[in-house]
Structure 1
Amino acid sequence: MGVLAKNLFLVKEHVGMFKAANNYDIHDPYTNEIIIECRENNLGFITKLLRFSDYKRMTPFNIEISDAQGNLLLRVSRGISIFLSDVKVHDGEGNLIGGFKQKFFSIGGKFDVQDPSGNTLCNLKGTWTGWNFRFLAGERELAQVSKEWAGLGKEMFTSADNYALSISSDVSEDAPVRKLILAAVMCIDMVLKE
């Protein structure tokens, strides 16, 4: 599993005034080395235009998540979203490994993380006022996403587009939910926070 077996990731979004694509680098927070790249490479012209409008949150996306050597690990995609997002996650070979269904009328943002059959593995729940999200399987916390992280220098969080993902050490390295959690982090901004 390699890089996906880590438990702590620093996500940095590429920022730019006229940026239509959603691109992220994921760093090892201890070395600041880029270990994963997340790129939205093939945006259509209409989608690019809509990304600069009030319809940005409804636009489709297709993000490729690769390791530092360029090996495709995951693909996260969604079609046009009118009300609620329905996101699909495929592994590097193109096999569906699960997805996310946004909850209707959720305060602060919430969606279900599902296996390929649509069974809920855990829920993503967020706070309305901040950038704090938790992945919960019942009462058990599998992971958390936050703009603040003890142990990481404040210089890591100088931009509003940086955050940390911490996966609980009791989530096994080969658990399918681990890949889905990482993929979900790429969707939080596009599905819930735009």
Structure 2
Amino acid sequence: MTSLLQRDVLVISQKAKLIEMTNEYRILDPEGEEVGAIREEGQSKAKKLLRLVSDVDQFLTHRLSVYEADGTKLLEIVRPAKIFKSTLQIRDAGGTARGAIVQENVIGKKRFALRGPADEPLGSIDAENWRSWDFAIHDAGGTEIARVTKTWAGFLREGFTTADHYVLEITGPTSPDLRFLLVASAAALDTALKQDDAGGWGFGGIDLSDLIP
């Protein structure tokens, strides 16, 4: 089995749900075969109900886990809700920190810094404008090494729909820590964009996750 960390093209497809209280995505290869999954975890029934009946999703801590095709957990993405500046913490299956994706304040653009486990700079994720779904990913030296996009040429070739899919395409050399962050970036960017558009990252420094059993 080819690990997600060894693949240069990953297609992320959001599963359709009648009531979407839990984010769940399939990870596909360019031929449309399922090679992994991303699932939101750590949500109690009370928290899921609160998400259904109110607009406080951005005030809750979120945890997404990425799994290989055989069900082996690969990594975890944690988006705390206690801070206004978006920081997505990336951990391996054993809970060891592997880095972070940190939103930076750039007027008119989306920009995320890629930080290593010791908070060292590994690169950045940049969008052309605030609403753009085409992100260029650069290493610490500024060289483009990957893209997250909804305009991938394979959408036409393989019959994917751009409305329901987006793609991580790695085109340059990467270190193990940077590759780990790239695989996490497709799910992390979607989470960050959704929560930003919902209206913020915190509520007076209070994380409602602490108040809900």
TM-score bucket of the superposed structures, by smaller chain:
0.7 to 0.9
Question: Contact 1:50 / 1:59 at 8 angstroms: preserved in 2?
Answer: no
Separation in structure 2 between the aligned mates of residue 21 and residue 81 of structure 1, nearest angstrom:
20
Separation in structure 2 between the aligned mates of residue 83 and residue 52 of structure 1, nearest angstrom:
23
Instruction: Give 1:36 shift.
Output: 1.1
Question: Contact 2:58 / 2:81 at 8 angstroms: preserved in 1?
Answer: no
Question: Contact 1:11 / 1:162 at 8 angstroms: preserved in 2?
Answer: yes
Over the matched positions of the two proteins, sequence identity in percent amounts to 27
Bigger radius of gyration, 1 or 2?
2
Q: For residue 36 of structure 2, what is the aligned residue in structure 1?
A: 36
Q: For residue 99 of structure 1, what is the aligned residue in structure 2?
A: 100
Q: For residue 122 of structure 1, what is the aligned residue in structure 2?
A: 123
Output aligned runs, 1:178-189, within 5 Å. Answer: 178-189=179-190
Residue 155 of structure 2 aligns to a residue in which SS? coil
1:53–1:142: structure 2 CA closer, same or farther, 3 Å change rule?
Answer: farther
Separation in structure 2 between the aligned mates of residue 6 and residue 125 of structure 1, nearest angstrom:
22
What TM-score, normalized to structure 1? Answer: 0.87
Q: For residue 4 of structure 1, what is the aligned residue in structure 2?
A: 5
Separation in structure 1 between the aligned mates of residue 93 and residue 3 of structure 2, nearest angstrom:
14
What TM-score, normalized to structure 2? Answer: 0.80
1:74–1:132: structure 2 CA closer, same or farther, 3 Å change rule?
Answer: same
1:167–1:50: structure 2 CA closer, same or farther, 3 Å change rule?
Answer: same
Q: Which amino acid aligns with 2:154?
A: G
The reply to whether residue 161 of structure 1 matches residue 167 of structure 2 is no
Instruction: Give 1:42 shift.
Output: 2.7
Select the residue among 149, 157, 162 that pairs with 2:152. Answer: 149
Residue 182 of structure 1 aligns to a residue in which SS? helix
Instruction: Give 1:152 shift.
Output: 3.2
Q: Which amino acid aligns with 2:42?
A: N
1:112–1:94: structure 2 CA closer, same or farther, 3 Å change rule?
Answer: same
Q: For residue 131 of structure 1, what is the aligned residue in structure 2?
A: 133
Question: Which structure shows the bigger proportion of residues in helix conformation?
Answer: 2
The reply to whether residue 171 of structure 1 matches residue 173 of structure 2 is yes
1:89–1:128: structure 2 CA closer, same or farther, 3 Å change rule?
Answer: same
Q: For residue 112 of structure 1, what is the aligned residue in structure 2?
A: 113
Q: What 5-or-longer segments of structure 2 have no aligned partner?
A: 196-213
Separation in structure 1 between the aligned mates of residue 114 and residue 56 of structure 2, nearest angstrom:
25
Q: Which amino acid aligns with 2:150?
A: K
Question: Contact 2:90 / 2:97 at 8 angstroms: preserved in 1?
Answer: yes
Q: Which amino acid aligns with 2:135?
A: F
Q: Which has the higher contact order (CA 8 A, sep 6+)?
A: 2
Instruction: Give 1:181 shift.
Output: 1.1
Separation in structure 2 between the aligned mates of residue 76 and residue 13 of structure 1, nearest angstrom:
17
Instruction: Give 1:62 shift.
Output: 0.7
Question: Contact 2:138 / 2:145 at 8 angstroms: preserved in 1?
Answer: yes
Q: For residue 77 of structure 1, what is the aligned residue in structure 2?
A: 78
Question: Contact 1:58 / 1:82 at 8 angstroms: preserved in 2?
Answer: no
